[in-house]
Amino acid sequence: MKHNASRKRNNFMDNIKGSGGSDADIVNFQIRRNITLLFKGHLELMEDIADEHDNAMRKLMEKLPQEYRDYVELADYLNEQKFEMLRRRILGKGNDCIRNIEEELKKFEITVKK
């Protein structure tokens, strides 16, 4: 059985979770997907920074005399609580952005080129 491009496009639209396959749903899905990728990228960057910070703190602890280690712990600004707070803020900002764009899109009549 052959499938033409139009049928594949319609099947794709019908398969979008929570949509009836309208053009506005397609645009909404794509925006949501791309914003999600953006804030996941921010989370990955933050994890990289946290790893580098932990490595730097570990190296400093290893090189300094024992009597200075308390000061190194004081300088450790990116602890687990701070990391989780920043993570929640990134997720919250991303979700706020998605909600705001979805609200704005309701003001438009959207047609996707075929």
Ordered per-residue pLDDT tens for the chain, 114 residues? 344 444 444 454 455 544 457 888 999 999 999 999 999 999 999 999 999 999 999 999 999 999 998 998 888 989 899 999 999 999 999 999 999 999 999 998 888 887
Q: Which of 22, 14, 47, 44 is nearest to 106 (CA)?
A: 22
What integer pLDDT is reported at residue 82 of this predicted model? 94
What integer pLDDT is reported at residue 35 of this predicted model? 94
The residues spanned by each domain of the chain are 5-105
What integer pLDDT is reported at residue 20 of this predicted model? 59
For residues 86 and 4, what is the distance between their CA atoms, to the nearest angstrom?
47
Distances (CA, A) of 17 to 8, 21, 98, 113: 16, 9, 16, 21
Q: Which of 94, 108, 89 is nearest to 31 (CA)?
A: 94
What integer pLDDT is reported at residue 5 of this predicted model? 45
Distances (CA, A) of 20 to 11, 77, 113: 10, 48, 18
